[in-house]
Structure 1
Amino acid sequence: MIKSAAEICPECGVRVSEPASDAGDSDKDRTTAAIFALILGGLGAHKFYLGETGWGVLYLVFCWTFIPMLLGLVEGIIYLTKSDEEFQRKYVN
């Protein structure tokens, strides 16, 4: 018998589950990213929040064209339509 909280089998050493996430883990909230994208998308706030600094700077450079604002609106809607697991897998990890 293996305890449900065990990560590794004590008999054979095989990993049975992923390690528990730490409190300092870098998981980002899908709703927060979507709000940033919808409200401040033209400035790239959602890109900075997700750790994509290069894209955030690009959004800032072209904010005067209003193209980043449209992209932010679309990305905000996309973030809201994804599940939390799918969002974490695609945009955070």
Structure 2
Amino acid sequence: MTEAMYKAADEKFCSECGAIIKARAEICPKCGVRQFAPPNNLAAVAPNGKSKLAAALFALFLGGFGIHKFYLGRIGWGIFYLLFCWTVIPAILGIIEGILLLVMSEQDFNRKYGTA
């Protein structure tokens, strides 16, 4: 084997030849086969280990307490939600944010919440 079989976080395996290519590559440079975009994966995990599905579930069920904000590293907003949890407003916002997280693309989630 001349090529290492370890891929970085921004790489993937070609669907045809199995070569390691960039994750955003549309065509494999080794075999020329077009790569198809993966389906919207709810269980996808960002580079920092945050799960889109976990964040959405936290927002839907515990959004009134700001748990999803703490999970995503937005501590200030989490405290704000916690201070106003006695009102219904954070719960309504949590449901809306949970739905938005569920429909958000994996790339957008990684760009917004995927950094350490």
TM-score (norm 1): 0.71
Pick closer, same or farther for the CA change 1:63–1:85 going to 2, 3 Å: same
1: CA distance, partners of 2:103 / 2:7: 34
Q: Count residues in correspondence.
A: 78
Amino acid of the structure 2 residue aligned with 1:70 = I
Alignment of 1:32-71 (within 5 A): 32-71=54-93
- Give, in angstroms, the shift of residue 27 of structure 1: 3.1
Which protein, 1 or 2, shows the higher relative CO under an 8 Å CA cutoff with sep ≥ 6? 1
Please report how far the alpha carbon of residue 84 of structure 1 lies from its aligned counterpart in structure 2 after TM superposition: 1.5
Q: Could you list the per-position Cα deviations for residues 47-87 of structure 1 after superposition, in whole angstroms to 9, with x for gaps in the alignment?
A: 00001111000000000011000000000000000111211
Matched residue SS, 2:86: helix
More helix by percentage: 1
Determine if the alignment matches structure 1 residue 84 to structure 2 residue 84.
no
| CA apart distance, 1:6 | 8.8
Deviations 1:11-52 (A, max 9, x none): xxxxxx6xxxxxxx5231100000000000000000000011
With normalisation by structure 2, the TM-score equals: 0.58
Q: CA RMSD in A?
A: 2.5
CA distance in 2, matches of 1:6, 1:84: 19
Moved over 3 A (4+): 3-7
Structure 2 distance, partners of 1:31, 1:91, is: 13
Unaligned runs of 5+ in 1: 8-16, 18-24
Structure 2: gaps (5+ residues): 9-21, 23-46
